[in-house]
Amino acid sequence: MISRLCATEGVSDDEAAELSMALLFAGHETTVVQIGLTAVLLMGNPEQWQSLVDDPALVPNAIEETLRASRRGGGVLPRYARTDLEIGSVTVKAGELVLLEIGASNHDPDVFTDPDRVDVNRSGANHLAFGRGARYCLGAPLARIELQTVFTQLVSRFPTMQLAVDTRELTLRPDSLAGGLTELPVQWR
């Protein structure tokens, strides 16, 4: 795709570089990171993994639930208020920066009962992992296809797969904006 962008007449070098950066970060890295986080959430809760092994038709639901559950904080979306507004007891003035915390909303106990529990049977469709409104993630349908494909394959081809280390030993990459796991050791019989 990047080669084709570069070869397209009328696309300047700067545009090609900018689009390539967007594709690699927004389009590639986010999904790679999510595959790792989803794997940890499912294998870290072996009964949830087993539910998918027993019934792979649950995978699409499991992907929504893990998108919800894996956003625990730090994923703030910046916005500037266009007008003065009241949120709860806070007054936000026009022009002020507001940081919207996706992780908090995805763990709102008023919306998701027992929000810290991963439950592949839960309907997690209300999550905000892809944002909301005008800036809703353009690649959400593609990310969903990729995640569903990966985990449909993994549970059918490696049904006995499990984490090879305790989740407390896992570390996050410090050198990447999207975060993600440094490594994810697994084993199977």
Q: How far apart are the first and last CA of the chain?
A: 39
- Compare residues 54 and 108 and give the one whose CB is closer to ligand HEM: 108
Q: Minimal distance in Å, beta carbon 11 to ligand HEM?
A: 17
- Compare residues 139 and 159 and give the one whose CB is closer to ligand HEM: 139
- Compare residues 78 and 166 and give the one whose CB is closer to ligand HEM: 78
Give me the residues that bind ligand HEM (CB under 6 A), please: 26-27, 30-31, 34, 77, 129-131, 135, 137-139, 142-143
* CA–CA gap between residue 162 and residue 84 (Å, rounded): 51
CA dihedral of 168, 188, 48, 57, whole degrees rounded to 10: 140
Q: Minimal distance in Å, beta carbon 120 to ligand HEM?
A: 17
Q: Minimal distance in Å, beta carbon 70 to ligand HEM?
A: 9
* CA–CA gap between residue 161 and residue 65 (Å, rounded): 20
User: What's the Cα-to-Cα distance from 156 to each of 40, 53, 57, 165, rounded to whole Å?
Assistant: 17, 6, 11, 22
Backbone angles phi, psi at 78, to 5 degrees: -80, 140
- Compare residues 49 and 130 and give the one whose CB is closer to ligand HEM: 130
The kind and range of the H/E element at 86 are strand 85-87
Q: Minimal distance in Å, beta carbon 22 to ligand HEM?
A: 6
Residue number of the CB closest to ligand HEM reads 139
- Residue 17 identity: A
Helices (H) and strands (E) in the chain, counts: 7, 6
- Compare residues 71 and 122 and give the one whose CB is closer to ligand HEM: 71
Q: Minimal distance in Å, beta carbon 160 to ligand HEM?
A: 26
